[in-house]
Homo-oligomer: A and B are copies of this chain.
Amino acid sequence: MTQLTYAKQNIITGEMKAAAAYDNVDADELKKKIKAGVAVIPKNVNHDFSPRAVGAGLTTKVNANIGTSPDHICFEEELAKLDTAIKAGADAVMDLSTGGDLNAIRDEIIKRSPVMVGTVPLYKTASLMEGLGREILEFTKDDIFAGIEDHCRAGVDFITVHCGITRSTVRSLKEADRLTGIVSRGGAILAAWITQNDMENPLYEYYDRLLEIVYEYDVTLSLGDGLRPGSVHDATDKPQIDELRVLGQLARRAREKEVQVMIEGPGHVPFDQIKRNITMQKELCDNAPFYVLGPLTTDIAPGYDHITSAIGGAAAAAYGADFLCYVTPAEHLRLPTVQDVFEGVIAARIAAHSGDIAKGVPGAIEKDITMSKHRRDLNWEGMIKTAIEPTKPLNIREESEDYKKDVCTMCGKFCSLALQDKI
């Protein structure tokens, strides 16, 4: 039984109550949203934690990607990233490990994480090939499904599956005038597999088998956007939209089988195309929750892509995106460090909250009102306490000569707020 099954039977579960309480909404309302497929509660029946919901009318959630790569493997560092992401306020983590003992890392992350955990099972499938002395593309259909089943059993709450990479959409890709082809790892692996084997993507061809597996564990499907644009030039082009259409159809089939589903989205998108991207996803996917990676509004800011992503993420959230995957300052350059993870989560949370104010999520602007009252009253303790992240502002304030004064060194005796009495 999935949360969607319960919702269809009009049963309010403990998970719904916990998730509704977290967002301070009514559990019955949340149940209706789950029933309509516009909200999901990613929580594996084998994973014990207090879940949060993703979807319409709820606070925009933030995911942090962690995990090893083939060229940077340090178990302890990834666990430190997990702890840091949680401390910084992430609502979800994805373990995207592709190096070292993948099972051990994944299992430890699931065990330690107080928030939902997502994975891309295909990474393990491809990684396994190497252990067997084969090329990474030499996996079979059954290897793919075995990998997925393994992740479900282990307690993963949501999995990215690139079901929209099909013979047809790969053809669309080859015909397109793209600058950066495929930038999704999972998407690239499957597109290469399809091309090399001249076969259809098993995740598409045998989609019902996938639905059966995940249903058993109530694993939420995150339908991956393997053809997302990797440059603003490539945004909102035919391959991207063709794939989105496929994902919309697959989302419908998932809901029919009572499998919770969300849709992944771009990527690199010019600011003026973000609204259209969100509207299109909502239309083509019957308002399924939308999980966006970025979007980045320019390609030219490596080292600062958490900022670029905050711009696009805030716009996306304001227009209706439900879930933001963070981007760190290390994006496009190397695997993030613990510090990168921290900065990435904070930037994404600022974007999410900016979006929540804009789309009128209940309670969102109340935090800003509290902060502004503290500002008006020059109540520094209150300001620091209300800050989305209190450590950095406290440090900045403490560095200044006016630390013990009411005002700050920006204006000193010219403080406009201190002048209000005279107006």
Give the shortest distance, in Å, between A179 (CB) and chain B (any CB).
Answer: 5
Interface string of A205-235 (1 = CB under 8 A from B): 0000000000000000000000000111110
Closest B-chain residue to A353, C-beta based? B298
| 8 Å CB contact of A387 from B302, B307, B359, B408 | B302
CA A136 – CA B405 in complex, angstroms?
Answer: 19
Give the shortest distance, in Å, between A138 (CB) and chain B (any CB).
Answer: 12
Given the known inter-chain contacts A98-B412, A136-B413, please indicate yes or no for A372 contacting B233, CB distance below 8 A. yes
Interface string of A230-247 (1 = CB under 8 A from B): 111110000000000000
Cβ-based interface call for A303 (8 A): yes
| 8 Å CB contact of A335 from B185, B333, B386, B410 | B410
CA A297 – CA B136 in complex, angstroms?
Answer: 45
CA A335 – CA B407 in complex, angstroms?
Answer: 11
CA A179 – CA B369 in complex, angstroms?
Answer: 8
Closest B-chain residue to A195, C-beta based? B423
Given the known inter-chain contacts A297-B358, A334-B408, please indicate yes or no for A416 contacting B187, CB distance below 8 A. yes
Given the known inter-chain contacts A179-B373, A414-B136, please indicate yes or no for A402 contacting B71, CB distance below 8 A. yes
A347: chain B residues within 8 A (beta carbon): 304, 307
CA A67 – CA B355 in complex, angstroms?
Answer: 34
Residue among A174, A298, A407 with most chain B CB within 10 A: A298
Cβ-based interface call for A396 (8 A): yes
Given the known inter-chain contacts A189-B414, A314-B311, A397-B333, please indicate yes or no for A232 contacting B357, CB distance below 8 A. yes
Give the shortest distance, in Å, between A182 (CB) and chain B (any CB).
Answer: 5
Total copies of this chain within the assembly: 2
A422: chain B residues within 8 A (beta carbon): 137, 192, 195-196
Interface string of A288-315 (1 = CB under 8 A from B): 0000000001111111101110110011
Residue among A310, A367, A399 with most chain B CB within 10 A: A310
Give the shortest distance, in Å, between A328 (CB) and chain B (any CB).
Answer: 10
- Are B184 and A416 in contact, CB atoms less than 8 angstroms apart? yes
Cβ-based interface call for A6 (8 A): no
- Are A271 and B350 in contact, CB atoms less than 8 angstroms apart? no
Cβ-based interface call for A121 (8 A): no
CA A287 – CA B204 in complex, angstroms?
Answer: 52
| 8 Å CB contact of A412 from B70, B184, B388, B400 | B70
Cβ-based interface call for A199 (8 A): no
Give the shortest distance, in Å, between A378 (CB) and chain B (any CB).
Answer: 11
Closest B-chain residue to A308, C-beta based? B350
Given the known inter-chain contacts A315-B271, A422-B192, please indicate yes or no for A414 contacting B334, CB distance below 8 A. no
Give the shortest distance, in Å, between A25 (CB) and chain B (any CB).
Answer: 20
CA A140 – CA B105 in complex, angstroms?
Answer: 71
CA A216 – CA B246 in complex, angstroms?
Answer: 66
Cβ-based interface call for A57 (8 A): no
Cβ-based interface call for A284 (8 A): no
Can you list 5 A-B pairs with a CB-CB distance of less than 8 A?
Answer: A69-B411, A182-B416, A302-B396, A303-B393, A335-B410
Q: What residues make up the interface of A, taking CB atoms closer than 8 Å to B?
A: 69-72, 98-99, 123, 126, 136-137, 170, 173-174, 179-185, 187-189, 191-192, 195-196, 230-234, 270-272, 297-304, 306-308, 310-311, 314-315, 318, 329-335, 337, 346-347, 350-351, 353-355, 357-359, 365, 367-369, 371-373, 375-376, 383-384, 386-389, 391-393, 395-397, 399-402, 405, 407-417, 419-420, 422-423
